[in-house]
Structure 1
Amino acid sequence: MTEQSRPQELPAGLLTDPEMIDACRVRDFARVFRMVKAKAGIYPSMLARRCELTPSRVGEVMAGRRQLLHMDVVERISDGLRIPGHMLGLARRPWETPPHLGVTEPEAPQEPEPEKNATASLPGPDVDSILALTTRTPLNTATLEAFHSSIEDYWRRDDQHGGAALRPAIVGQLRYVVGLLGENRPAAIQKGLYGVAAELARLAGWTYFDARQYNQARAYFTEALQLARESDDRQTMANILSCMSLQATYQDKPADSLAFVTAAQDQARSAAGTTPRVLSMLSMREAFAHATLGNRGSTHRAIGEAHHHFEQIQASDHDPSWVNYFDEPKLIVDTGIAHGRLGEAATAEPLIADAIRREDHANQRGRAFHSFWLARTQLEQGKIDQACHTATQALESARAVASERVTGHLREFYDQLAPHRQEPVALAFEARLRALLPSVSGSIHP
């Protein structure tokens, strides 16, 4: 593409406009197109050419009579209007990488070009209309089960590798499911779709939370809460509120954290069929909030309630899938972390160490978090050799997962190590850190 034919970029003021950011986030192309017309002077006919749509289609979108749901169309809009991929929940677009940073692939041998066949030519700009017909296929319980299976796979891969690479697919599927909610369907299927959409929005929020992009995370958590409320799914609402409580703890907003988890417990108690495992998990989130506030007595009470609820779990309980992660090792490690947040390192250390020995090795992010917590409790007790040894082991898990939260725990430990930075074992840890995670160590200064 020549410099003259490359699409003109949108004004920076438009791309940073909060309304434009929100419209792109939810893929409200009626708003996007109207703002592009008003603030960039790109009229419908030009929009159509740049996005490979028909002018009538653009007009229908701007009038709110049509939605654009398919990923190929979203990508064409991103490329044609030069909207950065992350604003639309897409991966980084090829044109966003400066030419001098691109990788030049060796040219492959040229194959003879086959004779063009008019009947086999690519579809024209109306491909989105053709594909839209497929979305009207009747949905059934098997379709919902397929959605849930993909969500479970997202969560598994998020635990193993972090959610950054998954986010475009998650957000794209979320927008697709939200688009399906506008059609008339049997009540049971519609309620199931709301549940799928709520869980996808929570998962999207979680990936932003793990990346420490807290404003985006809160926006998706709020969307998830609204979707769960539409179907009066109070247990899911409780889970979403508990995620918001945990995020507030990370943001050092313990009063907000306590308010969110209290609301989560209210929702759970008012829901039919809430299981002891759910109540146990929520009590532990309450313990985190109290510990961050420094409320020792309330923290110990909440920990006791978490263990009491956990003891009531029966094999016949019908737990929601999202709470299955809260097993006995998770209860124990969270108990240790709550004590650690209170400064009770001697109590926390054996609990966290025991849980690490018993937890699933496939959950790389969890093992990294918990190992750094163990190293911190050991360091607070003056066990410098043990702390650095534990932290060095944690680096192996940390480098396997892309997570800003993991990086944050690493930085916190490194800062705590400052008084001992010249100790041989601390120097060895720092050397290992720089060897395994150069991108992290480059942002850490003695």
Structure 2
Amino acid sequence: MPESRHTKELPVSLLTDSEMIDACRVRDFARVFRLVKARAGIYPSMIARQCELTPSRVGEVIAGQRQLLHMDVIERIADGLRIPGHMLGLSRRGWETPAALAVSEREPVHPPAGPGPLAALPGVEVDSILAMAAGTNPSPSTLQALRSSIEDYWRRDDEHGGETLRPAVVGQLRYVEGLLKDRRPTPIQHGLYGVAAELARLTGWTYFDARQYHQARAYFSEALQLAREIDDHPFMANVLACMSLQATYQDKPADALALVSAAQDQARAGTTPRVRAMLAMREAFAHAALGDRKATHTAISEAHSQFERIHEGDPDPAWVTYFDEPKLIVDTGIAHGRLGEAAIAEPLIADALAREDPANQRGRAFHAFWLARTQLQRGKLDQACHTAIEALVPAAAVSSERVTGHLREFYEQLAPYREVPAAVAFEARLRATLPPPVQRTPSSIRT
């Protein structure tokens, strides 16, 4: 096959054009080549090069002086011009599926091990160096600076994913852990524990988003330990809720329910309605993953009931402020979607997506793929493919294996409709976003 780096994709409008579809169906390559030249700007010499044919042979085909009947030639035309196999009566071509969608769940080769949580954590051992460089007298302003940096990390995580942020976050975690080795006034010491717990949770989250679940669990466990040192039960509930969500991604719904139940136990006293609403929605996810319709609906009702109790001025912790009305609505739609209740889920997810913060690229991609899936379940194929095409823009802007996972799920659900023009259009856009690996050019041109 010709070098894919230089292979020009045909326009979606041409691949879905009725004349092109008919020309491919009857293998009228004179008409195919003329359409490719007129609509895609791929001239006969380029057709010859991309399809491993001689220019004279392509010219004869266009002039109606020669027909192309051999299967290996037809396959080279499909591969060279990127014409989906089904259009020419061929099996699905290898290049039609982006290589990124074949990637399985990523896990570390060697899961963390050691005598305790700190020893188990992966990462560069720079804590002692950072501690020496930073000094040993943190003040309230130091705590505020650390908290501000954490807020910035979360914002950048939403916009770009956490893969590139992780080294900085781990380095800051090591630094704070170094400060905790000395005794300090109680307010400062408690503040440092809280900062360290949030940095450990954020690091765990970046590994979770990368689908490196062993690493994520190690850091979430460390966050729990740090929060327990200062009896921060609401934050412990938050970490357990993160672990519950991870369990749903790992297809461990019973674990997810046990973890969110433990989170709710931690949050019995001293938490705000917003925290309780968030936890109730995580419970709904766990019940939905178990297929328990009644329990899911009950948990959804509890989440909305708690959300209605929110008042301006509530002492919400910073880590739960993301759980606003659009988030409540989209999570409600997703919970219904997990149950297969697409008719209920679709308008909820669509409403929340319309109000999504444009800067939250990962959230927009997640929710758009969820919307596409519900539309597909309802038989709205054209609309589902259009929604999925729009989701490719934020998906390409953020580094997130979880986003790729949602894309993969939609792609697999689209399998029965591969030959429908709307699906062909989606796959063409998908290939442009996630191109296949480059292959070497053959040493000779066949005729």
Instruction: Say if 1:151 and 1:427 are closer, same or farther in 2 by CA, change over 3 A.
Output: same
Q: In the alignment, is the contact (CA less than 8 A) between 2:240 and 2:263 conserved in 1? A: yes
Which structure would you say has the larger RCO, counting Cα contacts within 8 Å and 6 or more residues apart?
A: 2
SS at match of 1:409: helix
Cα RMSD (Å): 2.2
2:38 equivalent in structure 1:
none
Q: In the alignment, is the contact (CA less than 8 A) between 1:364 and 1:398 conserved in 2? A: yes
* Residue 250 of structure 2 corresponds to residue 154 of structure 1: no
SS at match of 2:397: coil
Shift of residue 140 of structure 1?
A: 1.5
- From 305, 312, 335, the equivalent of 1:315 is 312
Instruction: Say if 1:346 and 1:27 are closer, same or farther in 2 by CA, change over 3 A.
Output: closer
Shift of residue 25 of structure 1?
A: 3.2
Q: In the alignment, is the contact (CA less than 8 A) between 1:407 and 1:440 conserved in 2? A: no
Shift of residue 20 of structure 1?
A: 7.2
Instruction: Say if 1:302 and 1:24 are closer, same or farther in 2 by CA, change over 3 A.
Output: closer
- From 275, 281, 287, the equivalent of 1:278 is 275
After TM superposition, list the pairs within 5 Å mapping 1:160-309 onto structure 2. Answer: 160-270=159-269, 272=270, 274-309=271-306
Shift of residue 359 of structure 1?
A: 1.7
- From 433, 436, 443, the equivalent of 1:436 is 433
After TM superposition, list the pairs within 5 Å mapping 1:379-418 onto structure 2. Answer: 379-418=376-415
1:5 equivalent in structure 2:
none
In 1, the alpha carbon distance for the partners of 2:325 and 2:436 equals 35
1:421 equivalent in structure 2:
418
Q: In the alignment, is the contact (CA less than 8 A) between 1:27 and 1:175 conserved in 2? A: no
Shift of residue 267 of structure 1?
A: 0.5
Instruction: Say if 1:314 and 1:289 are closer, same or farther in 2 by CA, change over 3 A.
Output: same
Instruction: Say if 1:412 and 1:173 are closer, same or farther in 2 by CA, change over 3 A.
Output: same
Q: In the alignment, is the contact (CA less than 8 A) between 2:177 and 2:196 conserved in 1? A: yes
2:55 equivalent in structure 1:
none
In 1, the alpha carbon distance for the partners of 2:127 and 2:351 equals 51
Letter in 1 for 2:305: H
Shift of residue 70 of structure 1?
A: 2.2
For residues 94-152 of structure 1, the C-alpha deviation after alignment (integer angstroms, 9 at most, x for no partner) is xxxxxxxxxxxxxxxxxxxxxxxxxxxxxxxxxxxxx726422x211111010000000
* Residue 323 of structure 2 corresponds to residue 326 of structure 1: yes
In 1, the alpha carbon distance for the partners of 2:132 and 2:153 equals 25
For residues 238-291 of structure 1, the C-alpha deviation after alignment (integer angstroms, 9 at most, x for no partner) is 000000000000000000000000010110113x2x110000000000000000
Aligned residue pair count: 329
- From 339, 354, 366, the equivalent of 2:336 is 339
Letter in 2 for 1:192: G
Q: Which runs of 5+ in 1 are unaligned?
A: 1-14, 30-66, 72-130
Letter in 1 for 2:416: P
In 2, the alpha carbon distance for the partners of 1:214 and 1:358 equals 31
Instruction: Say if 1:310 and 1:200 are closer, same or farther in 2 by CA, change over 3 A.
Output: same
Instruction: Say if 1:232 and 1:340 are closer, same or farther in 2 by CA, change over 3 A.
Output: same
Q: TM-score, with normalisation over the residues of structure 2?
A: 0.71
* Residue 121 of structure 2 corresponds to residue 25 of structure 1: yes
Q: In the alignment, is the contact (CA less than 8 A) between 2:330 and 2:348 conserved in 1? A: yes
In 1, the alpha carbon distance for the partners of 2:114 and 2:283 equals 37
Q: In the alignment, is the contact (CA less than 8 A) between 1:398 and 1:406 conserved in 2? A: yes
In 2, the alpha carbon distance for the partners of 1:17 and 1:254 equals 22
In 1, the alpha carbon distance for the partners of 2:374 and 2:335 equals 12
In 2, the alpha carbon distance for the partners of 1:393 and 1:202 equals 31
Shift of residue 439 of structure 1?
A: 6.1
Instruction: Say if 1:440 and 1:238 are closer, same or farther in 2 by CA, change over 3 A.
Output: farther
Letter in 1 for 2:251: D
SS at match of 2:135: helix
After TM superposition, list the pairs within 5 Å mapping 1:5-16 onto structure 2. Answer: none
For residues 311-336 of structure 1, the C-alpha deviation after alignment (integer angstroms, 9 at most, x for no partner) is 00000101000000000000000000
2:14 equivalent in structure 1:
none
Q: In the alignment, is the contact (CA less than 8 A) between 2:200 and 2:219 conserved in 1? A: yes
Letter in 1 for 2:327: K
* Residue 144 of structure 2 corresponds to residue 145 of structure 1: yes
Shift of residue 18 of structure 1?
A: 5.4
Letter in 1 for 2:378: Q
Shift of residue 178 of structure 1?
A: 0.8
* Residue 128 of structure 2 corresponds to residue 69 of structure 1: yes
SS at match of 1:69: helix
Instruction: Say if 1:24 and 1:407 are closer, same or farther in 2 by CA, change over 3 A.
Output: same
Instruction: Say if 1:367 and 1:16 are closer, same or farther in 2 by CA, change over 3 A.
Output: closer
Q: TM-score, with normalisation over the residues of structure 1?
A: 0.71
Q: In the alignment, is the contact (CA less than 8 A) between 1:356 and 1:370 conserved in 2? A: yes
Q: In the alignment, is the contact (CA less than 8 A) between 1:333 and 1:351 conserved in 2? A: yes
In 2, the alpha carbon distance for the partners of 1:289 and 1:389 equals 30
In 1, the alpha carbon distance for the partners of 2:427 and 2:111 equals 42
